[in-house]
Amino acid sequence: MSTITLYGATGTIGSRVLDEALRRGHTVTAVVRDPAKLPVEHPALTVVTGDVLDPASVADSAKGADVVVSAVGGGDGPGHQALIKPSFESLVAGLRTFGADAPRLVTVGGAGSLRTPDGKQVWDTPGLPEFLLQIMHAHGDALDFLRTVTDLRWTNLSPAGTIAPGERTGAYRTGLEDLLIGADGESRISTEDYAVALLDEVEEPKHLGERFTVAY
Whole-Å CA distances, 35 to 50, 103, 183, 190: 10, 23, 42, 26
pLDDT digits (tens, 9 = 90+) for 43-59: 999 999 999 999 999 99
* pLDDT, tens only, 157-199: 999 999 999 999 999 999 999 999 999 999 999 999 999 999 9
For 28, which DSSP code?
E
Q: What is the mean pLDDT of the chain?
A: 96
d(CA 60, CA 76): 29
Strand (E) or helix (H) holding 72: none
Could you tell me if 141 and 85 are in contact, meaning their C-beta atoms sit under 8 angstroms apart?
Answer: yes
Rg of the chain (C-alpha set): 16
CATH numeric code, 3-215: 3.40.50.720
Query: Are the beta carbons of 26 and 48 closer than 8 angstroms?
Result: no
